[in-house]
Homo-oligomer: A and B are copies of this chain.
Amino acid sequence: MSIVYGGIEAGGTKWICALGTSPDDLREIIQFPTTGPEETIGHAISFFRKYQEKGPIAGIGIASFGPVDIDPASPTYGYITTTPKSGWNNTEFVGTVQRMLDTPTLLDTDVNAAALGEYHWGAVQGLGSFIYLTVGTGIGGGGMMNGQLMHGLIHPEMGHIRIPHDWSADPYGGCCPYHNDCLEGLAAAPALEQRWGQPPEILPADHPAWTLEAHYLALGVSNLICTLSPQRIIMGGGVMKQPQLISMVRGNVQGLLNNYVNAPQILEDIDSYIVRPDLGEQSGILGAIALAKQSVQQ
């Protein structure tokens, strides 16, 4: 029986569990809504146990919403820590999965995992320094620098950077419970819905919402470029499905940087520099499979 890995993409609203080894070999995949931790983790465990009756799973990778403790030396390694998500505060995640499935398990943030998926099979193959930014119900960023996933004191929280907010052009105060008008508070899906009275998926393409959205996202992206000097930036998440948005962001980024960062990738070829994920909706679950492979090597 050929080797197989398990992946969990643990999101705030839904979970995806899969078995497989690569984009061309995803053997089973299920999806279910996120409820309480016991029930939701239990659901995932049942899926993998059913497979284990037939054969072994070599490792489990988890792409998790956060904040999560990803420091292996910490006593709360693998816990979901201070999330505002009801019931999930201080939830042991990796340890529970590892014990119940008796399988090596590795966890990272959902965005770092998506970045890892795109690194192995998608839009940033061969690059050592890149960012994956997701714009959806929240804004989060991860990626690699010098060929390794971004870890540090905790993990990046790129959605919470402060950007200029022109109150006369946009009197909406922002919706981040911690920072009001940080990038996430101004430009994630809930901000769009509160500001314009309709969710982003039904805002028409010519609505002024998109001009403002492209401006805010470009402020965020240009700050990330100045801070990290990535070789490429992937923009995923539900809000980015608006087809014209990414090209508007590209134009705004060039305007904001104003030729300061003197790289042909930005000055001449920004369509290949700020890109959509190659793996579409599957960056995260495939990143979890890639983490599972790493769990075995550790």
Q: Which residues of A contact B (CB under 8 A)?
A: 67, 81-82, 129, 141, 145-146, 148, 150-165, 178-179, 219, 222-231, 256-263, 265-266
Q: Would B229 and A161 count as touching, CB distance under 8 A?
A: no
Q: Would B179 and A260 count as touching, CB distance under 8 A?
A: yes
**Chain B residue contacts of A224, Cβ below 8 A:** 227
Taking A145-B148, A152-B229 as given, write out 9 further A-B residue pairs in contact, using a Cβ cutoff of 8 Å, ordered by the A residue number. A129-B151, A145-B146, A150-B229, A152-B231, A153-B261, A153-B265, A155-B229, A156-B227, A158-B227
Q: How far is the CB of A208 from chain B (nearest CB, A)?
A: 21
Q: How far is the CB of A180 from chain B (nearest CB, A)?
A: 9
**Chain B residue contacts of A231, Cβ below 8 A:** 152-153
A258's nearest neighbour on chain B, judged by CB, is: B178
A81's nearest neighbour on chain B, judged by CB, is: B262
30 pairs, A vs B, C-beta closer than 8 Å: A67-B262, A82-B262, A141-B227, A145-B152, A146-B146, A146-B150, A150-B228, A151-B229, A153-B261, A154-B229, A154-B261, A154-B263, A156-B226, A156-B227, A157-B226, A157-B229, A157-B260, A157-B261, A161-B226, A162-B163, A162-B164, A162-B222, A162-B223, A162-B256, A164-B164, A164-B165, A178-B260, A179-B260, A223-B227, A227-B228
A227's nearest neighbour on chain B, judged by CB, is: B227
Quick one: which of B148, B159, B164, B226 contacts A158, CB cutoff 8 A?
B226
**Chain B residue contacts of A165, Cβ below 8 A:** 164
**Chain B residue contacts of A162, Cβ below 8 A:** 163-164, 219, 222-223, 256
Q: Would B229 and A228 count as touching, CB distance under 8 A?
A: no
Report the Cα distance A146→B146, complex, angstroms: 8
Q: Would A161 and B263 count as touching, CB distance under 8 A?
A: no
Report the Cα distance A144→B164, complex, angstroms: 27
